[in-house]
Amino acid sequence: MLTAKRILSCLTLVLLASFVFSSDLFGEEQITINKIVINADLGKNIINKNIYGHFSEHLGRCIYEGFWVGEKSPIKNTRGIRSDVVEALKRMKIPVLRWPGGCFADEYHWKDGIGPYELRPSMVNTHWGRVTENNHFGTHEFLDLCEQLGCEPYICGNVGSGTVREMQEWIEYITFNGKNPMSDLRRKNGREKSWKLKYFGIGNENWGCGGSMRPEFYADVYRRYQTYVRSFSGNRIYKIACGSYGENYHWTEVLMREAGSLMSGLSYHYYTVPGGWGNKNSATEFGEKEWFDTLKKALFIDELIQKHSTIMDKYDPKKRVGLVVDEWGTWYKVEPGTNPSFLYQQNSLRDALVAGLTLNIFNNQCNRVKMANLAQTINVLQALILTKGEKMVLTPTYHVFEMYKVHQDATLLPVDLQCGQYEFEGDKIPALSVSASRDKSGRIHISINNLDPNNAAKVVCELRGSKAKSVTGRILTAADKTAHNTFEIPETLKPAVFKTVQLKNNILSTTLPPKSVVVLEIK
């Protein structure tokens, strides 16, 4: 039954949502009131913390000069792993880290990366610059990194150029506690007790750099290889099959039909490439056309996930198989003067908006999306961190992940959004992106992005099913669309307290500045 108070609240919200400040009356630009309704008592799906995961490949300066500096480096480290990087990632509660690739995974032979450094053979990194890889960062170093970070390791196995036996023995080396040749070899290399390894991918992009396979062929290859990825010593492996990319729905159909019952997860890759693969934008020199194009392409992942999920539902109506978006992010031109194969790019406010809206989409589709891994953690593509010798910079994307960490393992709350449009040259996208959750302590968090770089957004938000006592907020924004952090000025963009939000009778009202990411906390 509707109470008089609820009826008054609804009427007030409807009036506010439909009201427009008319230029005829006030001599001002029209400003639409955007309406959000959050049903705090109806949430049932959990936002898996692994949606906030990351990806690190042997590519450019992600591993070497990023995570790994070596024990003899003057840069502070623990067993060769950079201490400042570890502390930064721990602050944003990194939940899972994918390694060693990427395309690199399907030419990586793990036994080359164990034992004394001076005895490890070198290899050529054929995909990424054809530079020499010395294999100093291998299995022990990666699992040590994950232990330092307090995150789950996600290892991608070699299907493209590796053997079934090689993959089987890697699993035994890492996870078997009994006595056999692989566990004895691990002990010889200094690790007595086995590690826990929950996530293992059987190949990467096997439709492309991982072997140029047809889905029918890969489905059979997957069935074979996964048979030998066994669970030992109380460890239980979540097996992830190589999934599709973009609008390749046929791959998803075949994999789910032929091998869905034998997988725990199916990967998916999507990159936001404004201008297209042959005409990429600069990461920091762009106008509103590039801004709009980037955000529109980033929003497209919502439709793609829905369509791939519909195919998965056909074979897996109970949603047992998770969609694992283990590569996503922006892809621009490399920074001038850098190796084009190293994919080193800067990271601006535009990337912060891409990160915010994408994470909102993943949150809202958490009934199927169980993990996602931003590409890549350090010095590559949409990186969280940039390094240059002893210097380290946190990017705007890092700050969004740190702000959004409140959603990890929280209960998704249903959101009804009615918002205006951001229009550019006859095209338009929604001006706002929103997701909301309730954590285990009962606090509610709302993440809102204003995608419009020119206009503020008046927002009225009604909270239903919960009594709101107080609200606080944080904001990430800047006056310039291209604002970014540099080694010379590392804090041009960082979160600030967001004070312009009012709470009365379970209704929040605020004005979001243009091109902003805001996270509100309600107690």
CA 206 from centroid of its chain's CA atoms:
21
- Angle between helical axes of 164-175 and 139-149 (0-180°, round to 10): 50
Which residues sit opposite 430 in a β-bridge?
A: 421
Which residues sit opposite 433 in a β-bridge?
A: 449
The single-letter code of the amino acid at 462 is E
Alpha helices in 157-248 (DSSP H): 164-175, 181-188, 215-227
- Omega within 30 of 0 (cis) for the link into 181: no
Residue 303 appears among annotated catalytic residues: no
Both tokens of 84, joined, read: 């400042």
- Angle between helical axes of 215-227 and 249-259 (0-180°, round to 10): 40
Residue 327 appears among annotated catalytic residues: yes
C-alpha to C-alpha distances, 455 to 165, 429, 514, nearest whole angstrom: 59, 14, 5
Instruction: State how far the Cα of 472 lies from the Cα of 498, in Å rounded to an integer.
Output: 7
Catalytic member of 169, 172, 327, 462: 327
HSE value, Cβ hemisphere, 13 Å, CA-based, for 163: 4
- Asked if 256 and 307 touch (Cβ cutoff 8 Å), the reply is no
CA proximity to 275, closest of 263, 258, 259, 291: 291
Catalytic member of 172, 205, 402, 462: 205
The one-character DSSP state at 366 is T
Q: What is the dihedral of CA 313, 318, 321, 327, to 10 degrees?
A: 60
Which residues does 146 contact at the CB level (< 8 Å), separation at least 6?
Answer: 97, 152, 153
Instruction: List b or e across 295-307, with b for residues whose CB sees 16 or more CB atoms inside 10 angstroms.
Output: bbbbbbbbebbee
- Asked if 308 and 323 touch (Cβ cutoff 8 Å), the reply is yes
- Angle between helical axes of 215-227 and 164-175 (0-180°, round to 10): 40
CA proximity to 448, closest of 422, 414, 474: 474
Instruction: State how far the Cα of 56 lies from the Cα of 269, in Å rounded to an integer.
Output: 15
CA 209 from centroid of its chain's CA atoms:
22
Both tokens of 161, joined, read: 């150029």
Instruction: State how far the Cα of 407 lies from the Cα of 446, in Å rounded to an integer.
Output: 9
Active site residues: 205, 327
